[in-house]
Amino acid sequence: MTNVLVCIKRVPDLGGEITLTPDGMSVDDTSLGHTVSPHEECAVELAISVAKDTDGTATVLSVGSPDSVEQLRNALAVGCTAAVLVEAEASSYGPADVAAAIAEVVRAHEAVGTTYDLVLLGNDASDTGDFQVGIRLSYLLDRPVVAGVSTLSVEGDRVTARGQSPDGGTEVFDVALPAVLTVMEGGIEPRYPSIPGRMKAKKVKIEQREPSLRPVGPGRLRLKLPPAQPSQVTVLGEGPEAAGALVDLIEELGVLR
């Protein structure tokens, strides 16, 4: 039986135009919807699969505002069995603070008899680009960590994790449990909530906690948006007269050989 804790973060849906807050410290989400990153969607799917295959449990956790309940219930709707919200002002929490808040929950649950063999996180935050939480959490819990995992499987007290190597091959890690893994999207197709799943998720009581730590903050100077790429339009011609120019362009692009 493998009990899994999967950690998610409520982030702005960055499908549209991105702007920053006046202080440059975070993405301005006043006109944006909210979601979780694709990495975390895959982490949730892996947590549910491992729990199902080993007769374990999948608990979802988020450190953030009360609005994060929306993302927690989405994870419950697809198969997680319990949820924890650590209420905190996300903008004032840096990676070290988030890792410490998660570790505090893990230890508190262990004290009352609930242990987590595997802790899964997204590889990085889609809104701030922080890659540190999983690594910092592993040090706080004194557990092995593997970053950038695409797929995983559990056999007994060991987990086999696979991810892409820098040269494009596949790296395979065999790690003793308990462990911490950070997940990259692409290795598994996440499921999405059904109507019955959403109805069931509404009935689950979410554990709400307040962290005891004093946050040290993100430590970042500011975020910076890359300059907008200018758009360029070339008119090839009108009607049949444009055919020759179109063929030349296709050949230039290498579509025709």
In a domain, 177, yes or no: yes
Are 142 and 150 in contact, with CB atoms under 8 Å apart? Answer: no
Q: Does the pLDDT value for residue 26 go beyond 80?
A: no
In a domain, 128, yes or no: yes
pLDDT tens digits for range 172-197: 999 999 999 999 999 999 988 899 99
Confidence (pLDDT) at 31: 64
The larger pLDDT score, comparing residue 65 to residue 235, is at 65
41-50, 102-111, 223-232: segment of lowest average pLDDT: 223-232
The residue range of the domain holding 121 is 4-209
In a domain, 233, yes or no: no
The burial of 148, by beta-carbon neighbours within 10 Å (0-12 exposed, 13-18 middle, 19 or more buried), is given as: buried
In a domain, 94, yes or no: yes
Helical residues (DSSP H) of 83-241, grouped into ranges = 95-111, 133-141, 195-202
Are 105 and 81 in contact, with CB atoms under 8 Å apart? Answer: no
In a domain, 135, yes or no: yes
Site of tokens 């905190």:
88
Identify the bridge partners of residue 149 per DSSP, sorted by sequence position: 183
In a domain, 216, yes or no: no
**pTM for the whole structure:** 0.81
Number of domains observed in the structure of the chain: 1
The three-class DSSP label of residue 53 is: helix
Q: What's the CATH code of the domain at 113?
A: 3.40.50.620
